Amino acid sequence: MPKKILTIAGSDILAGGGIQADLATFNEYGLFGMSVITSIVTVIGEDFTVHEVDSAVLAQQLASVQDIEFAAIKVGLVPSVAAIQQVSAFLEAFVGKIPIIIDPVMVFKEAGASQVAEIKQAMQTLLFPLATIITPNLTEAELLTDLTINDEASLIAGAQTLQHQVTNVVVKGGARLAGATALDVLVTPSATTPLNTTKLAVPYNNGAGCTFASAIASGLALQQPVLAAVTDAKAFVAQGINHGVCLQDAAFGNVWQAARRLNGDN
């Protein structure tokens, strides 16, 4: 009987990120994934739109899974303060019992500066105190800390600042920093650990952040230590990018969550 794991996130029509990436990742780790959809993302040309799920429908989804015995819960895009409040209330019953992984997605086209500020505050006050680990990317870390992050030292400083709010944090520098190295930083109560890999000259990275967070969630659900779960997730995502799926434009594509298994890169 596989362990069960839950994702609370948006639906990505292109299936690179969101619940599609989460469920595909869970499956690759031998877990049975279930989902609560917070929003539906559509992409038509350059028009990227987040359609929030009605609050009553979100409430019914959360009620549908409240009695399931999960091994971990991963939270991705929650597009409004009201939805964050609903998700936070749901998560409280699981705090201290299973790992809770928060991927603080805050940057989307529909959100103006005031809405982003409100979502930031709601995440910091309602979600972060419940989290086992948070997984912001560089841009999200800058928003959460009000710091400018442009090199390894500032990436570490940002991660250490965030660790004052949560038990564990990994900030994804990825390809955003200059140089040949894709750098992430993990900060736990006992250590600060830079995680370096060589950057990949492959444009198939849509969904990398969601896949990274759901891979960490999977590792923690399987009772891996935090460092081991994060390190393995980074390798899992690198393989998914390196063997990614080209969409209509050869310069853009998705992470392929099955890459490690089907390309023999274990």
Alpha-carbon gap, residue 233 to 254, rounded angstroms: 16
Beta bridge partners of 33: 5
Count of CB atoms situated within 10 Å of the CB of 259: 22
Q: What digits encode the pLDDT tens for the residues 29-87?
A: 999 999 999 999 998 887 888 999 999 999 999 999 999 999 999 999 999 999 999 99
Q: What digits encode the pLDDT tens for the residues 114-169?
A: 788 899 999 999 999 999 999 999 999 999 999 999 999 999 999 999 999 999 99
Alpha-carbon gap, residue 266 to 261, rounded angstroms: 7
Apex CA 33: angle with CA 168 and CA 133, to 5°?
Answer: 5
Mean pLDDT of the chain: 93
Say if pTM beats, i.e. exceeds, 0.85: yes
Alpha-carbon gap, residue 33 to 257, rounded angstroms: 14
Alpha-carbon gap, residue 70 to 169, rounded angstroms: 22
Q: Which two tokens stand for residue 41?
A: 């993302």
Residues 6+ apart with CB under 8 A from 64: none
